[in-house]
Structure 1
Amino acid sequence: MRELNNINTDYESAQRVCWTGRKSNPDIGNQYWYQKIELYDISDLKNKEKLDIAILGYVCDEGVRRNLGRVGSAQGPRVLRERLAKLPVHFDNKHVADVGDIICIDKDMESCQLAFSKVIGLLISKRIFPIAIGGGHDMAYGHFMGIRDAIKNRPKRKIGIINFDAHFDLRSIERKSNSGTPFNQIITELEKSNETVDYFIIGIQRQSNTKKLFEIAKEYQVDYAINFECESSNEEMKLLQQRLIPFIESNDYLYITIDLDGFSSAYAPGVSAPSSLGFTPYFVFKMLLFLFNSKKVISCDIAELNPIYDRDDLTANLAAKLVDFIVMNNTN
């Protein structure tokens, strides 16, 4: 991909070594992800048949390091693929490919974000649905900018961000951007061209965000649901969905980003900032199904899988099942 040639980053095409699993009788067809997945180099996209969904890795935890978090999420994309490979396949008529990794070098996170945005933009411009896997949540800035660039000439181009997260990630940049600044960066970048973006966070924990961050959220008219509102009961779910309906209706596209630290550490110990007060997988799966039913979801990512601190592959397995669920329920 020529657009990456002058950017200080590395790219690695999809690797078969990440996609292995239990052998099955070839006469009964593909039973597991490792048998179904297609492996691509992004430079070959022009010459291949139509893809429906592409998995792209963001191999970077420099933003987490700058944010004084537990580094290790750069290993997330590899381990997620290894767990996903072993899951059974329950989709038939979708072409799903692994298109490799954008890799941070020389601690140059900004170049990694730029390269990442170029690939996201390419995928969306080809009507391929991206599922990005990280990597620090700083990838959200590059991801959003890639979506924005891909749809800039479409008649409808208003993007709403829905973030499943314990944190606002709205910090102002003091010296360098990091995993705690991406949504502030998006908002301020759009302000330069008199644009706005709707941002809704699901799972905010008061103990994980300063009063200043709540003030920034109010200033930018950011909406959010506190973690105690994120219960799996039908009543709580319906209340939150009702709050989201105006948000969905006022946007042309939805970008969904999932920070694994929003889950309770009982389900996701392998993250940069674990917490016992997070939501459950069932809550997120139900909310994702509701959001996909809007037919407006244009792209998704899963951030901050940190295999170094995982336990019994709980977090990696959860992340893999999230990818599988997104693939099964994406109808765009």
Structure 2
Amino acid sequence: MSQTIWQGRWDGDELLYHRIFQRVKIENDYDVISTNDFVLHGFAVEEGVKRNKGRLGAKDAPDVIRKNMSNFPVILPDFSLLDFGNITCDDTHLEKTQQALAKNVSKVLLKGGKSLVIGGGHELTYAHYLGVKTAFPEQKIGIINIDAHFDNRQPEDGVGASSGTGFWQIAQEGDIHSLHIGIQRNSNTLKLFDTAHQYGMKYILADELFFENLPSIYQRITDLLDEVDVVYLTICMDVFNASIAPGVSASAYNGIFADAAFMHLYRHILKSEKLVALDVAEVNPLYDIQDRTARLAASLINEWFMV
């Protein structure tokens, strides 16, 4: 990973002028991580998208998102971001790549850092979760999935895990404590809804995300936060409307918007002291327009930096 990826407007060296690119450190030594450092891994992988028959191109997203993160102003004086570069899948061995990310994530969390992963396909969910579980084996882990899809389909014989199987895989590890926000009725078969009910996966439909319904949504989010010890938040960018997120593996004409209602509930999640890991997935630069999707992903990440 080169420091040249991180570039932005330089206004001065004083702290009040700082932008994110001025505070990033390129690292490969996990021993330097301090408590509350944000620690970034890029998941430059799309083997799971390929297996799931999605549009290819997501593996090129991490560096594009980095560039769109670079110029945001630093808000908190003690902000620190360590960038450990990209994990790739140069063969078709997705499972090995997922294990590699999980191992690195566990190192971050055991040092007290906050794990940030930018994808890449949503096959990163299972890997990121495994990293959290490895670090906190005795803790009850809550997962909030902001996504149009449950991603709980059973792996196909002869195909294996994909970007659409993460939550089914997690459910095989034991009791799952998940809340899926933005689920689309026309993007999930009855089988996937049935699987969600079978495993106790709670969900909020995209149609429910409007301002007047925020008290109910807040309560459902709070209920999950209260019943778990640590929280992992994953965002699949195909949850958003194609007008603001055209560059994804599976675009949605009727997706949600990053409007006031969404930002209220999103910041409600970010404020939880139990949140230890966050990722964004399915940005596809090949189909993006003016970096709209990458910019939105970068903005959602930056919200965490400001809490």
Closer, same or farther in 2 for the Cα pair 1:27/1:219, shift >3 Å?
closer
Number of the residue aligned with 1:160: 142
Task: State the 1:81 CA deviation.
Answer: 0.4
Give 2:183's match in structure 1, choosing from 199, 204, 207: 204
Deviation at 1:47, TM superposition (A): 4.4
Gaps of 5+ in 2: none
For 2:277, the equivalent position in structure 1 comes to: 299
Shift of 1:285: 2.7
Classify 1:245/1:22 alpha carbon distance in 2 versus 1 (closer, same or farther; 3 Å). Answer: closer
Q: Residue 216 of structure 2 aligns with which residue?
A: 239
Which of 33, 44, 64 is the aligned partner of 2:20?
33
Which residue is equivalent to 2:169?
A: 185
**Which secondary structure state, in structure 2, belongs to the residue aligned with residue 218 of structure 1?**
helix
- TM-score for both structures, normalised by structure 2: 0.94
How much has 1:221 moved relative to structure 2?
1.5
**Distance change (3 Å), C-alpha of 1:28 and 1:142:** closer
Q: Distance in 2 between matches of 1:70 and 1:328?
A: 33
Deviation string 1:220-248 (CA, Å, 9 cap, x unpaired) is: 121111110012x1x21111111222222
Residue 36 of structure 1, CA deviation: 1.7
1:273 to 245, 250, 261: 250
TM-superposed CA distance for 1:211, in Å, is 1.1
Q: Distance in 1 between matches of 2:272 and 2:19?
A: 29
Indicate the RMSD between aligned Cα atoms, in angstroms: 1.6
* Structure 1 counterpart SS, 2:249: coil
2:130 equivalent in structure 1: 145
Change (3 A) 1:120 1:284: farther
Identity of aligned residues (%): 35
Q: How far does the alpha carbon of each residue in 1:61-101 deviate from its partner, in whole angstroms, 9 at most, with x for none?
A: 01001111001110110100011112222222122211211
Which amino acid is the alignment partner of residue 172 of structure 1? Q
Pick aligned residue for 1:313 from 272, 284, 291: 291
The offset of 1:30, in angstroms, is 4.2
Report how many residues are paired: 304
Q: What's the offset of the Cα at 1:32?
A: 1.7
Distance 1:21 1:45 in 2: 26
Q: Say yes or no: does 1:173 pair with 2:134.
A: no
| Pick aligned residue for 1:89 from 67, 74, 99 | 74
TM-score, reference length from structure 1: 0.88
Residue 206 of structure 1 and its aligned partner are, at CA, apart by 0.8
How far the C-alpha of 1:314 sits from its partner, in A, is: 0.5
Structure 2 CA distance for partners of 1:214 and 1:48, relative to 1, 3 Å: closer
Offset at residue 48 of structure 1 (A): 6.1
CA distance in 2 between counterparts of 1:217 and 1:50 reads 35
Conserved 8 A contact 1:51-1:96? no
Deviations 1:100-126 (A, max 9, x none): 111111121111100000001000010
User: Which one is further off, 25-34 or 309-318?
Assistant: 25-34
Tell me which of 239, 248, 254 is aligned to 2:231: 254
C-alpha distance in 1 between matches for 2:305 and 2:194: 37
